[in-house]
């Protein structure tokens, strides 16, 4: 479980083929200091397992489904990624409940910059709209954000200067792909309302 509060902006050192998947090597001394083998870490909001930790570099293995259904398949050496270590008992929950299970890839449709601030519009699969409401929560590349406007196939978020500087969202250009995870509590509520077995 995660909060959607990115702990560091890290750099991909290498992407190695590992048929049928890939191994990702990510430089992050801050996260690596406390990480142990088997720990769960969210990379752009996608929960992966630490398989090696050497000299500040963390290694992860991503299977074909993960590579196809998230933007991790687009990563290359030099790519920047958002990292968040999983919650531990007693940690403060400052964002919202994020599982690290990416539901869909979204696409940046438009970006409206206003000096150091920005409003971003993302396209997303229509099926996810039932879990989104204005002022509700969404995780975009693992970043906990508040929804501003929600339409059938697009939504907007307003980003403060800190978020733009401290996460990958500040680097996004029109057409960029992002990982999306809707609010866990909204999904449970929707199931309770629509499940005929209730």
Torsional sign, CA 135, 130, 42, 122: negative
Whether the per-residue pLDDT at 188 is higher than 80: the answer is no
DSSP 87: P
Does residue 134 lie within any of the structural domains?
Answer: yes
Last residue of some domain: 85, 115, 148? 85
Domain of 122, in residue numbers? 104-194
Residue written as tokens 């406390």? 34
CATH number reported for the structural domain that contains residue 179 in this entry: 2.40.30.20
Whether residues 113 and 161 share a domain: the answer is: yes
Does residue 13 lie within any of the structural domains?
Answer: yes
Does residue 90 lie within any of the structural domains?
Answer: no
In terms of phi and psi (left: phi > 0; alpha: psi -120 to 50; beta: otherwise), the region of 33 is alpha
Does residue 47 lie within any of the structural domains?
Answer: yes
Whether the per-residue pLDDT at 125 is higher than 90: the answer is yes
Whether residues 145 and 185 share a domain: the answer is: yes
CA distance 44 to 5: 11
Does residue 3 lie within any of the structural domains?
Answer: no
pTM of the shown model: 0.93
CA distance 140 to 38: 25
Strand partners, 118: 113, 159
**Helix, strand and coil percent figures for the chain, each rounded to 5:** 20, 45, 35
Whether the per-residue pLDDT at 134 is higher than 80: the answer is yes
Total domains present in the chain: 2
Does residue 91 lie within any of the structural domains?
Answer: no
Whether residues 109 and 188 share a domain: the answer is: yes
Whether the per-residue pLDDT at 172 is higher than 90: the answer is yes
Q: Which tokens belong to 24? A: 């990702």
Measure CA of the first residue to CA of the last residue in the chain; give whole Å.
Answer: 27
Mean pLDDT of the chain: 93
Q: Please give the pLDDT value at position 105.
A: 98
**Tens-place pLDDT, residues 73-118:** 999 999 999 999 998 766 777 778 899 999 999 999 999 999 999 9
CA distance 138 to 144: 6
Whether residues 128 and 178 share a domain: the answer is: yes
Helix (H) or strand (E) holding 158: strand 154-159
Please return the burial class of 127, using the count of CB atoms within 10 Å of its CB with bins 0-12, 13-18 and 19+: exposed
Binning pLDDT at 50, 70 and 90, where does residue 155 land?
very high
Does residue 49 lie within any of the structural domains?
Answer: yes
Whether residues 115 and 152 share a domain: the answer is: yes
Helix (H) or strand (E) holding 36: none
pLDDT average, residue stretch 29-48: 97
Residue written as tokens 């993302």? 122
Residue written as tokens 């992407």? 15
Q: Please give the pLDDT value at position 1.
A: 87
DSSP 153: S
Whether residues 109 and 159 share a domain: the answer is: yes
Does residue 1 lie within any of the structural domains?
Answer: no
């Amino acid at each position: 479980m995660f909060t959607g509060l990115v702990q560091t902006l890290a750099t991909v050192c290498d992407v190695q083929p590992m048929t049928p998947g890939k191994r990702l090597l990510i430089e992050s001394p801050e996260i690596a200091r406390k990480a142990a083998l088997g720990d769960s870490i969210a990379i752009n909001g996608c929960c992966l397992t630490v398989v090696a930790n050497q000299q500040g570099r963390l290694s992860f293995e991503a299977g074909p489904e993960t590579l196809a259904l998230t933007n991790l398949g687009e990563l290359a050496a030099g790519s920047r990624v958002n990292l968040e270590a999983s919650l531990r008992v007693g940690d403060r929950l400052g964002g919202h409940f994020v599982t690290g299970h990416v539901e869909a890839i979204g696409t940046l449709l438009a970006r409206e910059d206003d000096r150091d601030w920005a409003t971003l519009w993302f396209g997303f699969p229509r099926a996810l709209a039932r879990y989104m409401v204005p002022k509700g929560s969404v995780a975009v590349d693992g970043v906990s954000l508040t929804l501003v406007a929600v339409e059938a196939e697009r939504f907007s978020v307003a980003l403060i200067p800190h978020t733009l500087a401290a996460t990958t969202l500040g680097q996004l250009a029109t057409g960029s792909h992002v990982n999306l995870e809707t609010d866990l509590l909204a999904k449970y509520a929707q199931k309770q309302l629509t499940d005929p077995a209730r």
